[in-house]
């Protein structure tokens, strides 16, 4: 039986990282059809609304949303996500902070500082899945998932 999964990224960097993970974890004929969509930012309310619309356009078995925590997630948005069976995965404070954390690097508390720090730590463009290949290996991700609840939840999305 085929399991259908939708992963929604807040923006281009999330989509590039999710695409990299897909290349590592999803093999042909593995019984999983994984789709990645870009919500193109605009805040948590818009991203959740976008994800709900995508869920209604196709009957996905599971839907997870990777978005930043630097903007508050209103209670109504969380409730809407729960009602529509969306798993919200928060990058603290942003995707760049999440990436730094995976690499066991210092994570500045503010988004602009995280973005700046990433340019010195991660080689290549964060908008290209290939940029993650060298540093974000499956071995590293598996080693880090026990200590990072959000990473563990994210990687579970790639399992049947």
Is the pLDDT at 159 greater than 90, yes or no? no
CA torsion, ordered 150, 152, 153, 158, to nearest 10 deg = 130
Mean pLDDT of 73-89: 97
What is the rounded distance in angstroms from the CA atom of residue 98 to the CA atom of residue 110?
Answer: 12
At 117 the pLDDT is 97
Phi/psi for 88 (5° steps) reads: -95, 125
- 159/20: higher pLDDT: 20
Mean pLDDT of 91-105: 98
Mean pLDDT of 117-135: 94
Residue 103: partners with Cβ closer than 8 Å, 6 or more residues away: 121, 122, 135, 136, 140
What percent of the chain has pLDDT above 90?
A: 92
What is the rounded distance in angstroms from the CA atom of residue 91 to the CA atom of residue 98?
Answer: 5
Half-sphere exposure (Cβ direction) of 4: Cα atoms closer than 13 Å: 7
Average pLDDT, the chain: 95
CATH number of the domain that residue 38 is part of: 3.40.50
* Residue 160 pLDDT class (50, 70, 90 cuts): confident
Q: How many CB atoms lie within 10 A of CB 28?
A: 4
Is the pLDDT at 133 greater than 90, yes or no? yes
* Residue 107 pLDDT class (50, 70, 90 cuts): very high
pLDDT digits (tens, 9 = 90+) for 47-78: 999 999 999 888 899 999 999 999 999 999 99
What's the total number of domains in the chain? 1
What is the rounded distance in angstroms from the CA atom of residue 152 to the CA atom of residue 59?
Answer: 24
Phi/psi for 150 (5° steps) reads: -70, -40
At 131 the pLDDT is 94
Residue 128: partners with Cβ closer than 8 Å, 6 or more residues away: 16
pLDDT digits (tens, 9 = 90+) for 12-30: 999 999 999 999 999 888 8
What is the rounded distance in angstroms from the CA atom of residue 105 to the CA atom of residue 98?
Answer: 10
Q: Which domain holds residue 66?
A: 3-156
| 0.85 exceeded by pTM | yes
């Amino acid at each position: 039986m085929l399991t259908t999964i939708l992963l929604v990224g807040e923006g281009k960097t999330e989509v590039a990282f999710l695409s990299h993970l897909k290349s590592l974890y999803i093999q042909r004929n593995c019984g999983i059809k994984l789709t990645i969509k870009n919500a193109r930012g605009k805040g948590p309310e818009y991203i959740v609304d976008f994800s709900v619309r995508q869920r209604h356009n196709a009957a996905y078995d599971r839907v997870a949303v990777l978005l930043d925590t630097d903007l508050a997630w209103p209670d109504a948005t969380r409730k809407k996500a729960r009602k529509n069976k969306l798993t919200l995965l928060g990058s603290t404070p942003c995707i760049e902070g999440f990436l730094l954390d995976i690499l066991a690097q210092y994570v500045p508390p503010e988004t602009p500082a995280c973005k700046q720090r990433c340019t010195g730590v991660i080689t290549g463009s964060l908008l290209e899945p290939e940029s993650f290949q060298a540093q974000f290996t499956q071995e590293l991700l598996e080693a880090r998932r026990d200590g990072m609840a959000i990473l563990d939840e994210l990687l579970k999305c790639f399992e049947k």
